[in-house]
Amino acid sequence: MAATTLGSRMSFDKAKEAIQSAGFSLNRAVLSQSYIRSEVLLTTTATRYRFPLLVNDNFSTVTNTSNLLNLQDAFYISHAALFFAKPTSSTDTTFQLVTYPNSIIFSTANTAASLYTWYNAYFTLTVNNRVIWPQLDAYRFYDVPQTQDGSAAAVIDQQKGSDSALYPIEPGVVLVGSKQNVLECILPATMAAVETNSRAVLYLAGHLAQNVTPVN
């Protein structure tokens, strides 16, 4: 669905209500549109991928293009998207996010095909030991756009950053920086092949409430 002023206003009102219902006052807080971007490196040995959400999560390598939640803040998730990427190095910032296993980008044998394993997977989310998403299917994030004509090296997917692959999350979810937040993707099998430096990118769009938790 295309982004609209009315839709943005409705998301804002839902975020405000949900964060207040979670026990946080917005009288002095700044509530603004924002995002969480969590990235994990792909491997042929794992069926369970845990995505970091907080700035102090240390169970996984945090990439230089990640954007995680501060402990003092809360975040309302209104939309989510799953992307794949193949940076040229661990510090590359020029790579493209793709909404499906693009065989031009993932050109090494079996790597594009192996990425389809993710679309038979599901996400789980637990906040303070309370299961919020027992099984959120990853297939809802599958989005194959039209492409421009041209040589194989020049083909560009039609993509719109405001809504491509972003799926609305209802009911919305509040992540709290001072609480334990565990977000994982459970694959049915390991990937057969991966590209060097390739990663999965989980993009959570919504509203950020700054400085509302008891953490100083």
**In-domain check, residue 16:** no
Question: Which pLDDT does position 68 carry in this prediction?
Answer: 97
Total number of domains constituting the chain = 1
CA angle (57, 69, 4) in 5-degree steps: 145
**In-domain check, residue 59:** yes
**In-domain check, residue 158:** yes
Question: Which pLDDT does position 1 carry in this prediction?
Answer: 46
Question: Which pLDDT does position 155 carry in this prediction?
Answer: 61
Residue 134: asked if its preceding bond is cis (omega within 30°), the reply is no
Question: Which pLDDT does position 3 carry in this prediction?
Answer: 60
- Bridge partner list, 176: 74
**In-domain check, residue 28:** no
**In-domain check, residue 183:** yes
**In-domain check, residue 212:** no
Question: Which pLDDT does position 110 carry in this prediction?
Answer: 96
pTM, 2 dp: 0.87
Domain that holds residue 183: 34-63+80-170+177-203
**In-domain check, residue 118:** yes
Residue 101 and residue 84 in contact, taking contact as beta carbons nearer than 8 Å: yes
Tracing tokens 């807080």 back to the chain, one arrives at: 29
**In-domain check, residue 74:** no
* pLDDT tens-place values along the chain, 216 residues long: 456 656 666 777 888 888 888 888 777 677 899 999 999 999 999 999 999 999 999 888 889 999 999 999 999 999 999 999 999 999 999 998 999 999 889 999 999 999 999 999 999 999 999 999 999 999 999 988 766 555 555 566 665 555 556 889 988 899 999 999 999 999 999 999 999 999 999 999 999 999 888 876
